Structure 1
Amino acid sequence: MKWWPAFADWRLSTRIVILSLALLLVVQATSLLVVHASIERNARNQVARELAIAERIFRSLVDQRTQRLSQGAAVLSTDFGFRAAVNSHDTETIKSALDNHGDRTGAKVAAFLDTSLKPLAVNDGETTLDAALLRQIATPLQNKDTGSQLAVIGGRPYLFVMVPMRAPVLIGWILMGFPTEQALVDNLYQLSGARMALQAVDSAGPASIVMNTLPPENLRDLLKAGLGVTEFRSQGDTLIIRHLSLSVIGGELDLLLLHSLEQAVGPFNQLQLTLLVITGLGLLLFGLGSAWTARRVTTPLRSLVEAAERLGEGHYDQRMEHMARRDEIGDLANAFDRMRMNIAISQNEIQQLAYWDRLTRLPNRVRFRDAVKEAIATRQEVNLAQRSPLAVVTLNLDRFKHVNDVLGYALGDRLLKAVAERLLIQVEHQEAAVVARLGGDEFAVLLPTAGAAAAMAVAQRIVRSFEIPLTYDDQTVDLSASIGIACWPEHAVDVDALLSRAEIAMYTAKRNTTVTQLYDAALDSSSTQTLSLLSELRHAVQNHELRVFLQPKISLKTGEVVAAEALVRWQHPTRGLIPPMAFIPFAEQTGFIRQITLWVFDEVARQWDSLQPAAPRGQPLRVAINLSTRDLMDPDFPAKLAVLLATHGASSASFCLEITESAIMDDPLRAETTLNQLSELGFKLSIDDFGTGYSSLAYLKRLPVDELKIDKSFVMGMGNDPDDGKIVRSTIDLAHNLGLNVVAEGVETAAAWELLRELSCDEAQGYHMGKPMPVAEFPAWRERWLQRYETENLS
């Protein structure tokens, strides 16, 4: 909208008037358009009704003409001389009688047919038909006492009637054909008011209008528009067409009924004109009222603008005008006056807030950046040989959010103050060192005289100082942090690059759990790739590049396919199929795993019905979906799943949600709340990779889980390692004692299958039975598996 900036620069009074008029104009224009559309819709409905009536009138006229012509043909069948000629097979007399009767009745075709519809005599009229065509015309009429048949002969429509001749049994048929006359369509126009055009097509030529009631200019425009259209414009009018395809022999015959739309709209034109006049008067009155209101508002505003300009120049001694008013202008003037009195105090507070952290009394990010910038500038002023290095150490506390959530923000603030004090102690012997809080749980240290080795030594001292826990109100808090180091000029030559690279090193340390990390150029590439991967993952979800694969779970007792685990694969447009280990860990680090989890659940729920043919008899196929720590920490996660179930009509009982022990133990209280909500919704819950974490069995008993899934590392090794076998056996016994189902993953050999059966394990999952496969291939795989199971007699 290129006009908007210019409009925004106009005076307020002008904009008030224009916007008021524009709004009124939009409302009135919308009303006029709605009225016009309603009128046209009603007019079209009226035209459609009138054309339907015209169709019924046309059929009635044809029926009346059929009855008259049938009566005329019946007269010949009762003629004594004609009957005598028929009985004596006197062809010449029969033909003469047909000629005479045809001349009297206007029939152009007259024929006598035997009982098998073979022509015995045909008149010498101007239209001559062969025996095959006469039989084709007579066939549909021989079972009707009265009736007619249309036929196209020589590009002209004919109406045929046929009457039986009995003595007293049937001895033949009299068939007579009459050309359709202009009088028929003229009568239709007089009775219905609808124009008509009759289009005929025979086997020997193109379509043509054989008769019509259209004015020449309308006919010309119709032919120009094409006979197949449903409406066309002609002479400033819109003509609506109703097509009626008539049953004919020897070609095609279409009846076109036409009616004027403008004629139906005409009675409403005065109403629309009246509405336009009312709209014009309303705009005039509204414009005058808006101009008066705008002037009342803008005059005092101009005086307040002048006062604001004085405040901007630093003149705070003059009181505002219009403070005595009791309306919004008076409120604004009083607000300006209060602002005038508080600006001086605010200026001092702003200076303090701009450079110092109020909680720890340390320099903030802005002040710290200035300190680093000044230190770099000082070194750049001396000779290259005399320049000493400097280092920036950035620090981020681990699990600080967890401390805030569990112990409260007040204790979190005390913890931040304690961290600041310990940092100051560790650098008090470093010359000109600066400690700052960059924000949240992130701190930084400037070491103006330290290189990489000295900075690493300081970082190690900081780490050791954090090994001493803090105690507040009988609450002991363990401190730990991730630390990144970047040096000038080794790693960067300007302040922003130096700070950025120190933070890159810090986040690398946090991601790799290495505590401290010195910046390396390779980390920049990793950071760039990470940003690219996140963008590509978002693009993959939006553009349906992700794919759901299913890996079956088999009952060890029956061999039935009772469940399947949903696994995600990424079909990248240029890199092909990307395995989950290439992007799932990153998605968990960034939190994007939540979108992927919801996408997988939505996709499985959408295809839920198509999976049921693969279900075991009598029960739905159960699909397992993996949840991450991020999912359990989301308080809205259960509600999101409930919405997806309702959207696709799927049952929660058909889903099993798999959670790792580590995901639960990151925040047990939050995880327990989420799992209880999911269980109440009807979801089955499973502990994945059981045996690899450090969860308390007492705590595990409190969780609403239905299943334990033994980690594949134990299952794959139980044949060779007795300890792994003992872990598998004890886990199965423990789960059964707790009333839980047991699934063993990583079953890759027949020996492992048999051993698990002997240990009474419930279900197995692994390459021995089936690899992960696309959803579409799952039903066919199940059939192959059942055949294989029966053949190998695994049961």
Structure 2
Amino acid sequence: MRMRFRSLESRIVTLFLVLIVAVQVAGLLVIQRGIDNNARMSISSELANGAKVFRRLLDQNAQSLRFGARLLARDTAFVATIGNNDENDRSTILSALDNSGKRIHASLSMLINADRKISVATNLEQAAALEKQVASMLDTAESSGGANGIAIVEHRPYQIVVMPILAPTTIGWIVMTFPIDRQLATDMREVSALDTTVLTRDAQGKWLAVGSTFSGAVAQTVIDQMQAMEAAPAGPFDLTLDAGKYSARLLAIGQDGGQTANVLLARSIDEATAEYSRLERWLIALTLGGIVVSALAIVFTAKRIAQPISELAVTARRLEQGDYKGQIDTSREDEIGALAHAFDAMREGIAKREQEIRRLAYWDTLTNLPNRAQFVLLLNDALADAARREETVFVLMMDLDRFKHVNDVMGLSFGDALLRQVAGRLQLLLANRRQSSAQVARLGGDEFAVLLPASDRDSALRMAEEILHALETPLSLEDQTVDIGAGVGIAGYPEHGSDGETLLSMAEVAMYAAKQRNDGAVVYDAAMDKSSEKSLSLLTELRNAIERNEFRLHVQPKIMLDTGKVVGMEALVRWVHPERGNVFPDEFIPFAEQTGFIRVLTRWVMEKSAELCQELATKGYPLKISVNLSTRDLMDQDLPAKFAETLLRHKLAPGSFCLEITESAIMDDPVRAQHTLERLSAMGFDLSIDDFGTGYSSLAYLKRLPVNELKIDKSFVLNMENDIGDTKIVRSTIDLGHNMGLRVVAEGIESEAVWRLLAELGCDQGQGYFMSRPIPGDQLIAWLEKWQAPGTIAAPAAHEIDSGG
């Protein structure tokens, strides 16, 4: 199996290979450095020993010369010949010096007489060059029985031995010289294996090779590199020659008149490290072999680790695709085996949980019937079969009557038990009809559906009648007998739709039509859907209206009937539609309440009213503004907090507002409504019961509400002057309100006569077309400046208008 570069296997191999190679290379570098250091130390030791050996050679040569000179100096005949001091004996002396010098390989032999002059010499020219050096050694030789030293003649070094001739006093000195040249260098090479070069350096610093074990060209390279040095090195140093790299040491052996004699000892580094190099090559071979073996072991180990993980990854992909049947190898006893065990347990756990999730997702836990999602799947499968067989399919949807009331009165647990009994009756009904392909489902809440494959309209209607009949039989639960019915909607394929969701939607439309008509079972008709489409369109347009700022705030003034003072106004909303023009509230407010959009609209009205109230207050018109609340507003427990945030943003007091609520809105859920109203009242808002007298409220309950105002519905006010009955109702309402300590407001005043009649009856405030129709909020100030009360009632100036507290 090829390793992917970013796979776990490749990463393991790469990591350990890098570590092993790094360790091996580091070890090899350390060994190489150790070898080099050891070789350097060994060469340095050889050079130090070579210096000792060379000095020993010089001492041996000096001893040899002294021995030969001593033999000649003690030769009786030679001493006698010198003592005669006869010129005829010079040849005899010269012969003796020459013979003695040759025996010991001396390059020069000469006799110094008692006058310290050269008497006889085998090489007069060389003798003359050494005369001064020899003269400086005579006293030492006489006192010590001999002396030796180094002399440089014509850039060549010589070893000198001076031996006195005693008879018994000193009658002369024998001087012998030994050349320090290639021969001595060769001897040194044979003894120590060091390449030796004899060098001299004159007073100007110029180096000259006298003799060397190197060849001529290499010897010249040595001279060139020595010449390049500013000063003679004191310790070991490196030379790079054609024959390789050498470590060298310069040994000073003598000095003569500004000239120095030196010996350069050199050791080939390549030769010295030859054994080490072989060892190093073995180490490199072993390192490479170790890396190869390690790499194979690492690859094998990585595969052992990564392959089971790869298999687990494949299993994970199968799990991702919903396949939980794959087997996982759990035979290993190591950590990978533990991981495989955990993975296998996870697979089993996921399989069980997914099975449970599928059950929860597709089955109703209360009734153990298919839920909506499962029913849609069954319906689509039935539609596919029907399409192949050219059959029809019908769907029945039903919604229980009065189920919400049962829940509210008897409790949720009783309602759940009721739903289980309904499900049991429906299942029993299908079982008795022996329709194995029919399927009942609970879609949610108190809605049920029945699938009738391979059925027709008549069969669907008969089934609907049987279901209604089964549900009409009272249900007995917990010693309680409950009468319950249902509305059933019917839709079929291919007559009404070709997919499951469409058929369900159409059956739902038919079901609501059945409930509205109280007609038992209704088959879907396209005409039923027009109102639904219109509702959806209206809801979309309402949402767009808020975003496009199509709503407008209008107000209708509220006036004190006894003085004509303007004390407040009622906020009203108008919709300026881009296509329909002005849309009146009666056309969209009921729908907004039904859909819940009224909450958004109430927030908009409150915001705009706060802006207008703030503007009026800054211009000297502190009017109280009335805002209508709907049933859904009262059910919103966050409503007080939302209003408080609006007041804080516009820096207004709650007393600037009066919130109007209809009797029916309160009675839909009296407990929650009273809770919300008490919180609003505690904040400082005035509360008003709107359209009083048209609802079904209990006076005892209304007495407990924290309200400040009653508004008499306009249906009683419009015809007061002509209908004595309406007048009596209005009088009673005014008296009731005052007896309860409430402010009474009449709406719908359209004539001066009605105004005056209401004022006589003691009504506090009024509003209506007689005073003003609803006007845009931005035109209120202009209206206030022009307002005048009718007839005998004196109208106050604009600046006298108060809040009507």
2:451 alignment partner, SS class: strand
Q: Trace 1:773-792 onto structure 2 (pairs within 5 A).
A: 773-785=775-787, 787-789=788-790
Partner of 1:411: 414
- The answer as to whether partners of 2:419 and 2:446 remain within 8 angstroms in 1 is yes
Code of the residue aligned with 1:526 in structure 2: it is S
1:318 correspondence with 2:329: yes
> Matches of 1:302 and 1:784 in 2, distance apart?
94
Deviation at 1:626, TM superposition (A): 0.9
Amino acid at match of 2:637: P
| Cα displacement string for residues 513-563 of structure 1 (whole angstroms, at most 9, x for unaligned residues) | 988654332344433332232222222212221111001122111111112
Q: 2:623 aligned to 621, 624, 632, which one?
A: 621
Aligned to 2:737: 735
Deviation of the 1:691 alpha carbon: 1.5
Question: Kindly tell me: are residues 324 and 415 of structure 1, through their superposed partners in 2, closer, same or farther at Cα, counting changes over 3 Å?
Answer: farther
The one-letter amino acid of 1:733's match is D
- Following superposition, the deviation at residue 674 of structure 1 comes to 0.7
Q: Is the 8 A contact 1:320 1:336 kept in 2?
A: no
Distance 2:790 2:481 in 1: 58
Closer/same/farther in 2, CA of residues 576 and 696 from structure 1, 3 Å limit: same
Residue of structure 1 in register with 2:680 after alignment: 678
1:662 counterpart residue number = 664
AA aligned opposite 1:419:
V
> Would the alpha carbon gap of residues 336 and 581 (structure 1) be closer, same or farther in structure 2, given more than 3 Å must change?
farther
Picking from 768, 773, 779, the partner of 1:766 is 768
What aligned pairs does 1:31-180 form with structure 2 within 5 A after superposition? none
Counterpart of 2:573 in structure 1 is 568
**Matched residue type, 2:326:** H
Paired with 1:486 and 1:512, the residues of 2 have a C-alpha distance of 17
Per the alignment, do residues 727 and 689 of structure 1 end up closer, same or farther by CA in structure 2, a change over 3 Å counting?
same
Task: Name the SS for the 2:543 alignment partner.
Answer: helix
The 3 A distance-change label for structure 1 pair 686 and 506 is: farther
Report the Cα offset of residue 658 of structure 1. 1.0
Report the secondary structure of 2:674's partner residue.
Answer: helix
Kindly indicate whether the alpha-carbon contact (under 8 Å) linking 1:732 and 1:761 is maintained by their aligned counterparts in 2: yes
2:375 to 364, 368, 381: 368
Quick one: structure 1 residues 421 and 705, their matched pair in 2 at CA, closer, same or farther if it must change by over 3 Å? farther
Asked if 1:589 corresponds to 2:594, the answer is yes
Partners of 2:565 and 2:795 within 8 A in 1: no
Q: Which moved more, 1:371-380 or 1:524-533?
A: 371-380
1:688 is matched with 690
What secondary structure, in the 3-state scheme, does the structure 1 residue paired with 2:790 have? helix
CA deviation after TM superposition for structure 1 residue 597, in Å: 0.3
Q: Which residue in 2 is equivalent to 1:489?
A: 494
Matched with 1:549 is 554
Deviates more, 1:538-547 or 1:560-569: 538-547
What CA distance in whole angstroms lies between the structure 2 residues aligned with 1:681 and 1:474? 47
The answer for the alignment partner of 2:74 in structure 1 is: none
Cα 1:633–1:308 change in 2 (3 A) is farther
Amino acid at match of 1:339: M
Describe the shift of the 1:425–1:714 C-alpha distance in structure 2 as closer, same or farther (beyond 3 A): farther
With 306-315 and 471-480 compared, the bigger mean Cα shift is at 471-480
User: How many angstroms apart in 2 are the aligned matches of 1:586 and 1:549?
Assistant: 20
Task: Give deviations 1:240-271, integer Å, cap 9, x for gaps.
Answer: xxxxxxxxxxxxxxxxxxxxxxxxxxxxxxxx
Q: Would the alpha carbon gap of residues 558 and 382 (structure 1) be closer, same or farther in structure 2, given more than 3 Å must change?
A: same
Where 1:692 maps in the other structure, the secondary structure is: coil
Mapping 1:141-290, distance limit 5 Å: none
TM-superposed deviation, 1:437:
0.5
Counterpart amino acid of residue 360 in structure 1? T
2:632 aligned partner: 630
The answer to whether the Cα contact below 8 Å between 1:614 and 1:782 also exists between their aligned partners in 2 is: no
Q: Is the 8 A contact 1:304 1:320 kept in 2?
A: no
**Aligned match of 1:84:** none
Secondary structure, counterpart of 1:789 in structure 2: coil
> How far apart are the structure 2 equivalents of 1:303 and 1:372?
44
Structure 2 letter corresponding to 1:789: P
**Aligned-partner Cα distance in 2 for 1:322–1:626:** 76
Supply the distance in 2 between the matched residues of 1:694 and 1:478 (Cα, whole angstroms): 26
**Aligned counterpart, 1:201:** none
Q: Quick one: distance in 1 between partners of 2:690 and 2:777?
A: 22
Residue 157 (structure 1) aligns with: none
Alpha-carbon separation, structure 2, partners of 1:704 and 1:542:
36
Q: Which runs of 5+ in 1 are unaligned?
A: 1-9, 14-298
1-structure distance, mates of 2:613, 2:332: 71
Measure the CA separation in 2 of the matches of 1:683 and 1:300. Answer: 75
Give 3-state SS (helix, strand or coil) of 1:607's partner. Answer: helix
**3-state SS of the aligned residue for 1:558?**
coil
Aligned to 2:725: 723
Q: Which moved more, 1:417-426 or 1:451-460?
A: 451-460
Offset at 1:682?
0.8
The one-letter code matched in structure 2 to 1:707 is: E
Paired position in structure 2 for 1:503: 508
User: Which protein is bigger by CA-based radius of gyration?
Assistant: 2
Aligned to 1:231: none
Given that residues 440 and 448 in structure 2 are in contact (C-alpha distance below 8 angstroms), is that contact kept between their aligned partners in structure 1? Answer: yes
Q: Counterpart of 2:769 in structure 1: which amino acid?
A: Y
Q: For the Cα contact (< 8 Å) 1:431–1:447, is it kept in 2?
A: no
Contact 1:316 1:340 in 2 (8 A): no
CA distance in 2, matches of 1:301, 1:405: 63
Contact 1:355 1:363 in 2 (8 A): yes
1:776/1:343 CA distance change after superposition, 3 Å: closer
1: CA distance between counterparts of 2:313 and 2:674?
57
TM-score by length of 1: 0.54
Match of 1:701 in 2: 703
Separation (CA, whole Å) in 1 of partners of 2:334 and 2:711 = 75
The equivalent residue for 1:166 is none
Runs (5+) with no aligned partner, structure 2: 1-5, 10-303, 797-805
Whole-Å separation in 2 of the counterparts to 1:782 and 1:514: 56
**Equivalent-residue separation in structure 2 for 1:375 and 1:720 (angstroms):** 68
Q: Conserved in 2, the CA contact under 8 Å of 1:597 and 1:627?
A: yes
1:316: how far off?
A: 4.4
5 Å-filtered alignment, 1:644-663, equals 644-663=646-665
Structure-2 change in CA distance of 1:404 and 1:790 (3 Å):
same
Say which of 333, 352, 358 aligns to 1:345.
Answer: 352
Amino acid corresponding to residue 767 of structure 1 in structure 2 = Y
Q: Is the 8 A contact 2:610 2:646 kept in 1?
A: yes
Gap change, CA 1:382 and 1:565, over 3 Å in 2: same
Overall identity of the aligned pairs, in %: 53
1:394 equivalent in structure 2: 397
Alignment of 1:387-466 (within 5 A): 390-397=393-400, 409-424=412-427, 432=435, 433-448=438-453
What per-residue deviation string (whole Å, max 9, x for no partner) do you get for residues 304-363 of structure 1?
A: 5641422525334434999969xxxx9x98874542232443454355445432211222
> How many angstroms does 1:605 deviate by?
0.7
Count of aligned positions:
490
Letter in 2 for 1:673: H
Contact 1:303 1:321 in 2 (8 A): no
Partner of 1:532: 537
Alpha-carbon offset, residue 758 of structure 1: 2.3
* Pair 760,466 (structure 1): closer, same or farther in 2 beyond 3 Å: farther
- Of 362-371 and 603-612, deviating more is 362-371
Aligned-residue Cα RMSD (Å) equals: 4.0
Question: For residues 334 and 583 of structure 2, what CA distance do their matches in structure 1 show?
Answer: 69
Say which of 710, 713, 718 aligns to 2:712.
710
Shift in CA distance, 478/641, structure 1 to aligned 2, threshold 3 Å = farther
* Matched residue type, 1:539: N
CA contact (8 A) 1:307 1:320 kept: no
The aligned amino acid for 2:576 is: Q
How many angstroms apart in 1 are the aligned matches of 2:334 and 2:656? Answer: 70
The Cα shift of 1:484 comes to 3.3
Which residue of 345, 359, 368 corresponds with 2:366? Answer: 359
1:734 and 1:324 map into 2 onto residues whose CA distance is: 87
Q: Is the 8 A contact 1:323 1:333 kept in 2?
A: no
